[in-house]
Chain A
Amino acid sequence: QKEVEQNSGPLSVPEGAIASLNCTYSDRGSQSFFWYRQYSGKSPELIMSIYSNGDKEDGRFTAQLNKASQYVSLLIRDSQPSDSATYLCAVEPTNDYKLSFGAGTTVTVRA
């Protein structure tokens, strides 16, 4: 079992719709969770972090965390073509300092 798994893409959504990205993790003791966005040919950039159960909103982005289910998600509301990118889920393990990354989900927003 991989440490961090993301729903397989690519995910294609029409402009203005909600894009929903899912991530599950295996280390039950993990406490910090991050979403990175990576445009083609660019480096990953941090867009959201979440540390406690529930929802965290930042502009059009909402991160949701459920530690009991070992599940973290990212919602992109009112999707724009500029949101087309690969989204990486990263989890801080219990007993290590290196983040575990998922394989990423590629999102394409159709104009």
Chain B
Amino acid sequence: DAGVIQSPRHEVTEMGQEVTLRCKPISGHDYLFWYRQTMMRGLELLIYFNNNVPIDDSGMPEDRFSAKMPNASFSTLKIQPSEPRDSAVYFCASSLWRARGKGSPLHFGNGTRLTVT
């Protein structure tokens, strides 16, 4: 089975430019999560979707960040304008909700390493 697919793997951009990260979740999964990971702050949840609907975006750092999920097989995370402090590894993850206590682990993509100069 194909896992979670993210693109691009690496992105280098200049401050002020727009950045779009893409994610294809595992087929059949109903939850999709966007995380950001840095050495200083660890793994941070930015936003998550259930059946393509955004449920909790409280982790989105500021209005420069936006995320969409137009269908069950595609999601984007956009940063506009980008800043050097946005440099991090961005992970997309998906899961299939079974039942509370039955185990709904996350499956992570390979991540996008973003460098903003």
Contacts and interface: CB of A to CB of B under 8 A. Distances in A.
B106 interface: yes
B93 to A, nearest CB: 8
B103 interface: yes
Contacts of B102: 32, 51
Chain B: interface size category:
20 to 34
A43 B107 CA distance: 9
Interface of A: 31-32, 34, 42-46, 49, 51, 88, 90, 92, 94, 97-99, 101, 103-104
A49 B105 contact: yes
Given A97-B48, A98-B56, A104-B42, A43 B104 contact: no
A46 B107 contact: yes
Interface string B90-117: 0100000100111111111111000000
A97 B97 contact: yes
A21 B46 CA distance: 27
Given A97-B48, A98-B45, A101-B43, A32 B108 contact: no
The main secondary structure of chain A at its interface with chain B is loop
A31 B45 CA distance: 20
Nearest to B6: A43
Contacts of B33: 98
B56 A44 contact: no
A97 B97 CA distance: 8
Nearest to B44: A101
B55 interface: yes
B52 interface: no
Interface centre among A43, A88, A98, A101 (most CB of B within 10 A): A43
Interface in B27-77: 31, 33, 42-43, 45, 48, 50, 55-56
